[in-house]
Amino acid sequence: MKTVDRLMLKSYLGPMIMAFAIVMFVLLMNFLWRYIDDLVGKGLQFGVIAELLGYALITLAPMGLPLATLFGAIMTMGSLGENYELLALKSTGMSLMRILRPLLILTFSIAVGSFFIANNLVPHSWEQMNSLIWDIRNQKQTIEFQNGIFFTDIENMTIRVERREGDVLHNVLIYDNTNTRRDGTMSTVLADWGHIKLSDDKRNLIVDLYDGAMYETNLTQSASAWYNDSKLTRTFFSQQYVLNSLDGYAMERNELDFSSGRTKRISQLQRDIDSIRVIVRENVTAASQPLFEEHLFTYDRTLMIDTLRAVSPHVHAADLLDSLAYLDLRARQRVWNAAYVAAQNSRRFSWDETQLKRSLSDLYLHQIGWHEKVSLPVSIIIFFLIGAALGAIIRKGGLGMPVVVSVAFFVIYYVINLMGTKMAREGTLTAFQGIWLSTFVLGPIAVFLVYKATNDSNLFNVEWYIYRWRDLKKFVRERVGTRHAVGGGRGSKRESAKK
């Protein structure tokens, strides 16, 4: 490896890694902000949160790589241009593409690696992340008592605490209906103080009370029997230790199916797309067949199928004679009236499109997932070319101008990609058109900027535009002055001719 190549790689890797870390941090904060309500108050262990964040980082990596590539390229080429290192390299006879050759090879390797990340890691991470979020959402929040307020989140139990001092609860009141369905017993517990907390595995409620009384009564008897035979049992205690089983407070992992277009590899997507297309054709036939049978081909249903073409594909359409021309006026009028009535009735026909819409939506999502995996490496290469060309033209390093330009281009890319994906999901555009729309827009821009950077264009040089504006004003002033001079000379000649 030559010294120039090592210089370029060393100058590029640092800014790109830093930009990727910053972008992933911002995206991860956005992810946490979206799901903060589901995570707070659940008492989740550090391992569960770390697992969720790990899956989120892998899932968000395809979005962060293009921006990191763009930012790193602008910073690298801008710093080289600002320190006249790029000019020194060009003065030796090296072209811009030769200078960028090691970075192009590295970017191509990153693009290929991004495809394997999007195809192999992201599907599994996306499925596991959604499964983990589902389990966290179904988990109940931890037990928190507030002074003078009834706590009702525990099934068949209501707890009220008069005052709380750390872990010590004062004047505890508990209504326990746990055994009501089994033997009709309801208990009420009053205690001066105690401790109520979850066990370490969050599967049991530990109730440790001191200096109180428990009242038990039966609620399953009829009204008259309860009035005559009911018993109220009162038990005093100096300490009562009870262990009640709980459901929903412990973190339980469920094996749920979150399969979609984003949880499959490209080979699985291609196989499923072929299968879904067959299902779509079957649903189209099932939805439209009642229209043909009941309104359009009510007399001869064999006209719905071209049997000759089904037997042999070499059979051409037959030139049939129009039988209406051989009918008299009244018979022709009857045929036209019957056709008109059938056409009007077919317009009022309604069919069930539920299965058809569902299969079409599934087909669109699988096609979008297929094209997203393929378009990611191309977008990374395009962003690198845009960043390298802009850095060579702007010749500004640091975190000022590169950040502004990078964010501007990424916002344009993100908005176009979002619009294209939405239109592809709705069926307005094909999946190829919707997903590759941003590439079609930014690709020519990348080629144009590389051409300008190769030819040392003054595309972003403000002084160049100021000088051109001055030349334009001078040119216009000279043209206007010449016309006035010519007009004045012609006027003097006319006046002399009149005299």
DSSP string, 429-475: S-HHHHHTHHHHHHHHHHHHHHHHHHTT--TT-HHHHHHHHHHHHHH
Percent of the chain with pLDDT over 90: 7
- 225-235 mean pLDDT: 67
pLDDT tens digits, one per residue of 367-379: 888 998 899 999 9
Taking residue 170's Cβ as centre, other Cβ atoms within 10 Å add up to 14
Positive or negative CA dihedral for 392, 394, 396, 400?
negative
Angle between helix 101-116 and helix 3-34 axes, rounded to 10 deg: 40
Distances (CA, A) of 136 to 45, 56, 153, 477: 11, 15, 17, 74
pLDDT tens digits, one per residue of 3-23: 888 888 888 888 889 889 988
When pLDDT is cut at 50, 70 and 90, the band that residue 320 belongs to is very low
- 455-476 mean pLDDT: 71
Tell me what pLDDT residue 74 has: 86
**Does the structure show a pLDDT above 70 at 488?**
no
Tell me what pLDDT residue 267 has: 86
Tell me what pLDDT residue 261 has: 62
When pLDDT is cut at 50, 70 and 90, the band that residue 308 belongs to is very low
The residues pairing with 196 across neighbouring beta strands, listed in sequence order, are 207
**Does the structure show a pLDDT above 60 at 317?**
no
More confident: 303 or 129: 129
**367, 277 in Cβ contact below 8 A?**
no
HSE-up of residue 416 (Cα within 13 Å, Cβ side):
17
Strand duo 150-151 + 204-218: pairing: unpaired
**Phi/psi at 35 (5° precision):** -110, 20
Tell me what pLDDT residue 108 has: 92
Per DSSP, the residues of 206-253 read EEEEEEEEEEEEE-SS-HHHHHHH---EEEEEEEEEEEEE-SSSS---
Q: How far, in Å, CA of 97 to CA of 294, rounded?
A: 68
Q: How far, in Å, CA of 335 to CA of 331, rounded?
A: 6
**Phi/psi at 208 (5° precision):** -120, 100
E strand or H helix at 205, and its extent? strand 204-218
Q: What's this model's pTM, rounded to 2 decimal places?
A: 0.66
Tell me what pLDDT residue 192 has: 86
**Phi/psi at 153 (5° precision):** -75, -15
- 298-302, 340-344, 418-422, 435-439 — which is least confidently predicted? 298-302
Domain extents in the chain = 3-138+370-454, 150-245, 264-357, 461-499
**Does the structure show a pLDDT above 50 at 310?**
no
More confident: 254 or 191: 191
Strand duo 233-245 + 157-165: pairing: unpaired
**Phi/psi at 298 (5° precision):** -75, -25
Which one, of 395, 422, 372, lies nearest residue 66 by Cα?
A: 372
The amino acid that residue 297 corresponds to is: F
Tell me what pLDDT residue 453 has: 82
**Does the structure show a pLDDT above 90 at 41?**
no
Tell me what pLDDT residue 307 has: 47
Q: How far, in Å, CA of 35 to CA of 141, rounded?
A: 15
**Does the structure show a pLDDT above 70 at 487?**
no
Angle between helix 437-454 and helix 354-394 axes, rounded to 10 deg: 10
**Does the structure show a pLDDT above 90 at 182?**
no
**Does the structure show a pLDDT above 50 at 389?**
yes
Tell me what pLDDT residue 133 has: 81
Which one, of 212, 216, 215, 198, lies nearest residue 170 by Cα?
A: 212
Tell me what pLDDT residue 357 has: 79
**Phi/psi at 223 (5° precision):** -65, -45
Burial (CB count within 10 angstroms: exposed 0-12, middle 13-18, buried 19+), residue 460: middle
The mean predicted confidence, pLDDT, of the chain is 77
**177, 157 in Cβ contact below 8 A?**
yes
Tell me what pLDDT residue 239 has: 82
**Does the structure show a pLDDT above 60 at 69?**
yes
Q: How far, in Å, CA of 37 to CA of 52, rounded?
A: 15
**Does the structure show a pLDDT above 70 at 120?**
yes
E strand or H helix at 72, and its extent? helix 46-82
Distances (CA, A) of 153 to 96, 158, 249: 67, 8, 11
Q: How far, in Å, CA of 214 to CA of 236, rounded?
A: 6
**110, 20 in Cβ contact below 8 A?**
no
Q: Which range scores top for mean pLDDT: 86-100, 114-128, 296-310?
A: 114-128
**Does the structure show a pLDDT above 70 at 318?**
no
E strand or H helix at 317, and its extent? none
**Does the structure show a pLDDT above 70 at 66?**
yes
- 308-316 mean pLDDT: 50
Helix (H), strand (E), coil (C) string for 129-196: HHHHHHHHHHCCCCCCCCECCEECCCCCEEEEEEEEECCEEEEEEEEECCCHHHHCEEEEEEEEEEEE
Angle between helix 46-82 and helix 354-394 axes, rounded to 10 deg: 40
